[in-house]
């Protein structure tokens, strides 16, 4: 009996970690009209982790009817809004349930939300359009609705304040209906030519949506939504994608998951904007032309666009397989994807393009006052988030590469991706490098020169040398 008790006690930490790692489950119904620009949702968010300090984010354009506690026979819950948690672009409102006597916060294990939302429908951008469009916009362009999940929060997203973690990736069992649509697409599932369909996934995904009236096609493990690709173009595009996936899986020694990848092309609700973003495994091009076609058109820009594609495909490992949870999160998320894609660009696409990208980064950093990685305490310390994450951090890794070689760098990246549910701050970065190097003297030199020194940027630029 004693041995059994000992075994059970030893398993408790494992059970606890597994419970904490489990993604929430979202179930219920979603009704959309692309002609009216409306959402009507009856959704239940369950399997919530035990979080003391939290907010529940929901798009500011969604009007709540009520929130109920499922465990308490759907009893109505009193909620409050907070102005403390507001995404930088202001898409979502923050809700919470006060604890007893107004102290602390209370979080039931399962919550039911009923709400509706109405948004502008931009049918004619020649006469009536929005000033700007952006990733977190719930955009109705007359023939479709496009929205991501993380930034738009069109569904309720739990945010853990203490660990700076948003649970926007969820398992789901959702019935989506759109009577004025011909195609429904929910991230993580194949598109369907139906007006109503049930979508299920036991794997967690960010719930990007693209529903409307358009055509789609599939080639191997790749879907093309509204791209107007010919069969030959789809084949050539898929071959490029597969070669990049194979390169990453070979170098990181981790199979590339999410076998079904979707490429979505759609128009903005502003007049001139054009950009691409990823809600893995969906790659979304927003603009007035098909940016994906450049990847296979043989033009001068082809390899630059392939380098961009390499960055976005790297986000399977940095952002999906491995998530980050510290003030360094965004810098590591984008910096690691950018660095690993630079290696792919150098070795698989075009070394000249690689050199152009690095030289551009070096030029950008000439007048940048970078805070050493070891000194980052909050995202405010980045000073310029885009430059720090996409430019400074990748060149930090380039400098370390000059010290330890490309093979060791891939081992380090693999160690980072394979790490468990730990705080991914500076100590995490150093400990994973230490396990790969097995050389304390070299590790100390790298730390002092590139991670800690007030002259880290100068040391980095001095080390980088494009021969």
Q: What number is the average pLDDT over the span 432-440?
A: 97
Residues 94 and 209 grouped into a single domain: yes
Mean of per-residue pLDDT scores for the chain: 90
Domain count, the chain: 3
In which band, very low, low, confident or very high, does the pLDDT at 7 lie, cut at 50, 70 and 90?
A: very low
The whole domain housing 98 covers 23-215
Residues 82 and 168 grouped into a single domain: yes
**What is residue 13's predicted lDDT score, i.e. its pLDDT?**
32
**What is residue 123's predicted lDDT score, i.e. its pLDDT?**
86
**What is residue 378's predicted lDDT score, i.e. its pLDDT?**
87
Residues 247 and 276 grouped into a single domain: yes
Distance set, CA 1 to CA 4, 5, 7, 15 (Å): 5, 6, 10, 20
pLDDT tens digits along 146-190 = 999 999 999 999 999 887 789 999 999 999 999 999 999 999 999
Question: Which residue, 183, 215, 247, sits at the end of a domain?
Answer: 215
Residues 86 and 192 grouped into a single domain: yes
Domain contains 457:
yes
In which band, very low, low, confident or very high, does the pLDDT at 257 lie, cut at 50, 70 and 90?
A: confident
pLDDT tens digits along 121-152 = 998 767 788 999 999 999 999 999 999 999 99
pLDDT at residue 4 greater than cutoff 60: no
Q: What number is the average pLDDT over the span 268-287?
A: 91
pLDDT tens digits along 382-413 = 999 999 999 999 999 999 999 999 999 999 99
Residues 241 and 198 grouped into a single domain: no
Residues 199 and 236 grouped into a single domain: no
Domain contains 285:
yes
pLDDT at residue 219 greater than cutoff 70: no
Domain contains 106:
yes
Report residue 129 CA to chain centroid gap. Answer: 28
Residues 448 and 417 grouped into a single domain: yes
Residues 41 and 171 grouped into a single domain: yes
Domain contains 10:
no
Q: Are strands 165-167 and 139-140 parallel, antiparallel or unpaired?
A: unpaired
pLDDT at residue 89 greater than cutoff 80: no
With 0-12 / 13-18 / 19 or more C-beta atoms within 10 angstroms meaning exposed / middle / buried, residue 433 is buried
Residues 201 and 256 grouped into a single domain: no
The rounded radius of gyration (Å) of the Cα atoms in the chain is 23
Residues 204 and 240 grouped into a single domain: no
Residues 351 and 255 grouped into a single domain: no
Distance set, CA 349 to CA 35, 103, 303 (Å): 43, 57, 7
Domain contains 41:
yes
User: Other CB atoms closer than 10 Å to residue 152's CB: what's the count?
Assistant: 31
Domain contains 16:
no
pLDDT at residue 328 greater than cutoff 50: yes
**What is residue 71's predicted lDDT score, i.e. its pLDDT?**
85
Q: What number is the average pLDDT over the span 40-55?
A: 95
Residues 59 and 139 grouped into a single domain: yes
DSSP-assigned beta bridge partners for residue 394: none
């Amino acid at each position: 009996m004693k041995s059994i008790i000992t075994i059970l006690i030893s398993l408790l930490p494992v059970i606890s970690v597994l419970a904490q790692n489990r993604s929430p489950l979202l179930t219920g119904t979603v009704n959309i009209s692309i002609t009216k620009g409306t959402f009507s949702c009856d959704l239940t968010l369950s399997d919530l982790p035990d979080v003391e300090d939290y907010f529940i984010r929901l798009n500011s354009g969604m009007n709540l009817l009520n929130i109920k506690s499922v465990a308490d026979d759907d009893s109505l819950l009193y909620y409050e809004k907070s102005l403390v948690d507001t995404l930088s672009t202001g898409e979502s409102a923050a809700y919470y349930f006060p604890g007893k006597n107004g102290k602390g916060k209370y979080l039931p294990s399962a919550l039911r939300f009923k709400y509706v939302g109405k948004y502008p429908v931009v049918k004619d951008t020649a006469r009536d359009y929005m000033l700007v469009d952006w990733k977190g916009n719930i955009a109705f362009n007359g023939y479709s609705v496009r929205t991501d999940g993380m930034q738009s929060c069109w569904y309720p997203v739990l945010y853990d304040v203490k660990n700076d973690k948003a649970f926007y990736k969820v398992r789901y069992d959702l019935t989506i209906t759109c009577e004025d649509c011909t195609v429904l697409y929910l991230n993580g599932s194949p598109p369907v030519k139906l007006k109503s369909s049930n979508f299920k996934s036991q794997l967690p995904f960010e719930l990007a949506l693209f529903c409307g009236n358009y055509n789609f096609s599939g080639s191997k493990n790749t879907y093309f939504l509204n791209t107007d690709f010919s069969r030959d173009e789809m084949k050539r595009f898929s071959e490029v994608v597969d070669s990049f996936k194979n390169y990453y899986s070979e170098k990181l020694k981790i199979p590339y998951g999410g076998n079904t990848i979707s490429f979505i092309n759609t128009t903005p609700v502003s007049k001139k904007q054009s950009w691409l973003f990823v809600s893995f495994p969906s790659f979304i091009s927003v603009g007035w032309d098909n940016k994906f076609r450049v990847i296979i058109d043989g033009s001068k820009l082809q390899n630059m666009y392939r380098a961009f594609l390499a960055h976005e495909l790297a986000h399977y490992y940095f952002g999906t397989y491995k998530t980050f949870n510290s003030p360094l999160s965004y810098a590591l998320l984008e910096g690691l994807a950018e660095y690993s894609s630079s290696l792919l660009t150098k070795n698989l696409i075009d070394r000249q393009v690689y050199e152009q990208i690095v030289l551009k980064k070096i030029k950008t950093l000439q007048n940048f006052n970078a805070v050493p990685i070891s000194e980052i305490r909050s995202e405010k310390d980045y000073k310029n988030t885009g430059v720090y994450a996409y430019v400074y951090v990748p060149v930090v890794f380039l400098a370390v590469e000059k010290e330890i070689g490309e093979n060791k760098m891939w081992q380090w990246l693999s160690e980072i991706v394979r790490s468990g549910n730990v705080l991914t701050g500076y100590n995490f970065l150093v400990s994973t490098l230490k396990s790969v190097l097995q050389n304390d003297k070299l590790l100390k030199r790298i730390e002092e020169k590139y991670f800690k020194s007030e002259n880290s940027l100068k040391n980095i630029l001095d080390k980088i040398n494009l021969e």
